[in-house]
Amino acid sequence: DTGVSQDPRHKITKRGQNVTFRCDPISEHNRLYWYRQTLGQGPEFLTYFQNEAQLEKSRLLSDRFSAERPKGSFSTLEIQRTEQGDSAMYLCASSQDSPNTEAFFGQGTRLTVV
């Protein structure tokens, strides 16, 4: 297993367009997290899944954001009608069962909305 994989690494989109990011976690990990990180800040929690169930969503996750993990394996994060304020690094992480164990992060998808 090569770790957590995210695709694409970079995305430039025009304001108002929809974008979708994919995350492939480490295969035996039950938990999958999405974070957003802006320049000079630490990662901010967006949402997480336990297997296929989405158990928590941050207030940062507006109605334009939706995440899925249909088979409990890979996950997608979609942003509809993108705004310039959505420009950030979107990070995916996975862990076994709980955050009280190591969480491994992917390399992130850098989104630029122009």
Tell me which residues touch other proteins (CB under 8 A): 4, 6, 33, 40-45, 48, 55-56, 91, 93, 98-100, 102-108, 110
Least distance to other proteins, CB of residue 91, Å: 5
Closest to other proteins by CB, 19 or 23: 23
Least distance to other proteins, CB of residue 77, Å: 15
- The single-letter DSSP state of residue 79 is E
Closest to other proteins by CB, 18 or 98: 98
Query: Cis before residue 8, ω within 30 degrees of 0?
Result: yes
Closest to other proteins by CB, 40 or 85: 40
User: What SS3 state is found at 85?
Assistant: helix
φ/ψ of residue 110, rounded to 5: -90, 115
- Strands (E) in 19-108, as ranges, are 19-24, 31-37, 44-50, 53-57, 65-68, 75-79, 88-95, 103-105
Least distance to other proteins, CB of residue 7, Å: 13
